[in-house]
Structure 1
């Protein structure tokens, strides 16, 4: 007795049997009923989703003779000659081509030449090209003209898993259908009906596991069901299924994730290597952690999760959404690292270590509280220090001998009288005692050009009220001495002496500012709280210090 695997035995033979592709079915139904038929179709989707099967059903719809209309039909009979020939795969007018093995331009030329001939026995000649993205660029170019204007009795159906590799000029000439992954509920119900027909005993947990492992692919799901049924003699249990698939219970991965969130790096690594010794694939471990992290984040947001381990997710959610999102970033970045590396076991182990130490890093809000507390403590200490100093000063003043200013003098009439006009002039005089005061004074009087020259091109050797010694850069084309002298005389009413020296060990104001900034920056970076911030945000830099 020849056994036919479930994936072939339960392959859909008409549109009504297609599972989970309602949009495609409804579109083709309307097109067939209205006679609005495209000359080329492009079917895309993951492996085992039904692309080739759908292509054969479309070929039947074009050529079915069971309705006696002599035109394409949505209601396929599967009893007429064309339908039986397509089902058996021996039709002369439905040509299936594997583009993975026939990629060259010569293979396409054969198709172009055969297109010119009339059909042998059917209404339409159908070319089904599987894995069409494997064709060479020259082959695609050779096909363009024929694809755009094929003979009336010729139809093309392309199937591919990688649409991005197909030229846009080809896609634009086709009616495209994206076959979606089959929903878990639809897939599980279909598997249940097949188990009933095949007299297979299976529990709901096993059905969910098969659906999850197949990732929405009907062929993969039926292949797994077929294999585990043979292993368990049609009495499928979850333990045998997990053993067959090489997967662990979800609780195992939840336990590992909790170790990571609790920053228990040693326990997490030991448990990880235990899973590896039990033949668990490292990529499966990483993907399971990603799935758990995703479920945990959704649980925090919605406070609702349709999962048997909901109590475990309640415990995980106590870590807060911020920590969960940080772990998500580590896991997703780690997924890219595994794709580019070769030693998957060690790569995933380091990802787990990174996840543990990321979880132990304080949250930003915690760091802000620490910084605020430290600043508050520093302010308190400074205030108390000043109070102590003031008390000491008061004590010195009270215990020492009376100051001369405390002695009483009788005023002498007219001797210390100051002329009111002279007093006004003194009060109006502007006193500049250092270079910083001069720079501020220049800004207040809108002398931006002179200010810029003094900051960048002048080195102050000495500064006192009424006299400045400076070294002027050779690159400075501005007459600093002339303009500064005039400005100071106009604004202060005094004639300033400005000397130009040839040598000095000092730096320009801008250079001194940079040196002081770097010095303060090093002091700040040595602070343990700032170190924690930099670990949390590796690319963070200190831009300014106030």
Structure 2
């Protein structure tokens, strides 16, 4: 797209017609290569091709909506046919300081030799056949016949095939320019015959500068923060940014403030989003829920709030990796300053965990019938996970290397509310008094908190070990022990086993870690190359089969099976032994002993 072009100046869009309003996206549409913004690689390639005379027979332009594909196609058509009334220009050129003989008609899409076709509505073989028939004739007045096919990926397969021969060997006077947002849907046979240009999203800082220039030409007073919000919402699309600017001007009916744009887009205040992020990282659930409700009451969508939180989390992560990211002018000063502060204090693991929880939470809120309640539950999960140790800290604590650190300046944890965080305070985990001891917020309600120092447990047999795992209600580990583990040697604290192919790859490491945690002493679990004994499941199956064979040999059972052909034994249930009343032994008297 373009830098703001002066309607009355050379190389610009035509002046606004009397009696009708033209939207900004059309009024400030670029008319020359000098007007394009954000597409410097493409402009450089085309410029060099025109200067050296290496002009291909076909171009294909791809990119997201609103980055200037159709506009670039018209500029190319104008450059191919640029001609001045005095005849001083005799060939294609990218330098078009004034409006040429054909420029006005090409810009307005009414030139007889520049044919624009919407492939979405003209996608049949008959439409392509008309092009094939007409391309043989020389242009009426221009230098080249130019065919612009917008949304070319909408052509049918037969239409693409019908175009291939003409596209590969067109007449010298014919040029083709294709535009598409779905480049993967274009057959490779077509792509190989075209020179491809991928138009990029326009950066936020460039968009802000572009919108500021247009607002100045329109005589509209607008805050820089409002321009940044519009540029961010446009996501790199110039047309979207101009449409949003048009809407913001109409919405404000005067000076455009950032608050007007937020209300128009249903966005939360970026500063308040940062405050909410800080509450979550400190584990202050009450403050986080209060802030979410406050934003919801003024019209913020809960899903948008979580999306903004995820976006800010992503920004902090990028700043931690590449500090220069915080210099983006499309961001507010509060975001840049506090983003650097968070990046220096939060660990990468914490940021990654928060991002994953927010990403999952956004989809939950969008699918929920009560979005604000779902959003609150997402914030509760994040806040309660704030002072959880990271996996490496858990492993170190289980191996006895060091206890879990209480205050972690580089991580996040609990803490009270507050507008700012000092370097000494950091993001230390919250502690609440209970009696004479300070405990974590979860210590009273999370049973894991009481397993930090378990009593020592002695397990003398492998069967006792399996029963002990069953008591811990670890179903996955018990199933693996019964189904995939063959015992080789066993001692209390040492286990040598052979594993079936179906066993999880991480079973040995995980099981050793769990045993150390549960029993309070060091365990060594080794995988042996020996065959090992039967698995517990195989032993159970063998015992069950033996019982069934014994039952089937019973004459009464055989009589039943013969009486009902096709019947079979599917299971044997052993009845509990009946209690036998044993009479008490008679007491012996002294006379009886004699």
TM-score by length of 2: 0.61
State the partner residue of 1:16: 34
Q: What is the 5 A alignment of 1:196-345?
A: 196-264=216-284, 268=288, 271-272=291-292, 274-301=294-321, 305-306=326-327, 308-309=333-334, 310=336, 312-313=338-339, 314=341, 318-334=345-361, 345=371
State the partner residue of 1:41: 59
In the alignment, the residues of structure 2 paired with residue 379 and residue 269 of structure 1 have an alpha-carbon distance, to the nearest angstrom, of 34
Residue 398 of structure 2, aligned match among 356, 367, 371 = 371
Residue 70 of structure 1, aligned match among 75, 80, 90 = 90
Cα shift at 1:121: 2.0
Where does the alignment leave 5 or more consecutive residues of structure 2 unmatched? 1-18, 404-450, 476-503, 513-523, 525-594
Q: 1:303 to 1:110 in 2, by over 3 A?
A: closer
State the partner residue of 2:164: 144
- SS of 1:235's partner is coil
Q: 1:540 to 1:239 in 2, by over 3 A?
A: farther
In the alignment, the residues of structure 2 paired with residue 380 and residue 257 of structure 1 have an alpha-carbon distance, to the nearest angstrom, of 36
State the partner residue of 2:497: none
Between Structure 1 and Structure 2, which shows a larger proportion of helix residues?
1
What are the superposed Cα offsets for residues 258-312 of structure 1, whole Å, 9 maximum, x if unpaired?
3433445565456445544543344432331122112222344466734522554
State the partner residue of 2:133: 113
- SS of 1:129's partner is strand
Which deviates more, 228-237 or 275-284?
275-284
In the alignment, the residues of structure 1 paired with residue 470 and residue 96 of structure 2 have an alpha-carbon distance, to the nearest angstrom, of 79
Cα contact 2:115–2:147 (8 A) shared by 1: yes
In the alignment, the residues of structure 2 paired with residue 41 and residue 295 of structure 1 have an alpha-carbon distance, to the nearest angstrom, of 36
Residue 115 of structure 2, aligned match among 88, 95, 108 = 95
- SS of 2:271's partner is helix
State the partner residue of 1:155: 175
Cα contact 1:64–1:77 (8 A) shared by 2: no
Cα shift at 1:344: 9.2
Residue 29 of structure 1, aligned match among 30, 33, 47 = 47
Cα shift at 1:12: 0.8
Please tell me whether Structure 1 or Structure 2 has the larger radius of gyration of its CA atoms: 1
State the partner residue of 1:467: none
Q: 1:295 to 1:336 in 2, by over 3 A?
A: same
Where does the alignment leave 5 or more consecutive residues of structure 1 unmatched? 386-511, 528-538
State the partner residue of 2:443: none
What are the superposed Cα offsets for residues 223-246 of structure 1, whole Å, 9 maximum, x if unpaired?
222222233344222122222222
In the alignment, the residues of structure 1 paired with residue 107 and residue 345 of structure 2 have an alpha-carbon distance, to the nearest angstrom, of 57
State the partner residue of 2:147: 127
In the alignment, the residues of structure 1 paired with residue 55 and residue 121 of structure 2 have an alpha-carbon distance, to the nearest angstrom, of 30
State the partner residue of 1:177: 197
Cα shift at 1:70: 3.0
Q: How many residues align?
A: 407
Cα contact 2:396–2:402 (8 A) shared by 1: no
Cα contact 1:296–1:317 (8 A) shared by 2: no
Cα shift at 1:168: 1.9
In the alignment, the residues of structure 2 paired with residue 380 and residue 357 of structure 1 have an alpha-carbon distance, to the nearest angstrom, of 24
In the alignment, the residues of structure 2 paired with residue 265 and residue 252 of structure 1 have an alpha-carbon distance, to the nearest angstrom, of 15
Cα shift at 1:80: 2.8
State the partner residue of 1:450: none
Q: 1:360 to 1:76 in 2, by over 3 A?
A: same
- SS of 1:81's partner is coil
TM-score by length of 1: 0.66
State the partner residue of 1:355: 382
Cα contact 1:119–1:125 (8 A) shared by 2: yes
- SS of 1:89's partner is coil
In the alignment, the residues of structure 2 paired with residue 298 and residue 158 of structure 1 have an alpha-carbon distance, to the nearest angstrom, of 36
Cα shift at 1:15: 0.8
Cα shift at 1:251: 1.8
Q: 1:369 to 1:31 in 2, by over 3 A?
A: closer
Which deviates more, 249-258 or 293-302?
293-302
Q: 1:520 to 1:267 in 2, by over 3 A?
A: same
Which deviates more, 209-218 or 346-355?
346-355
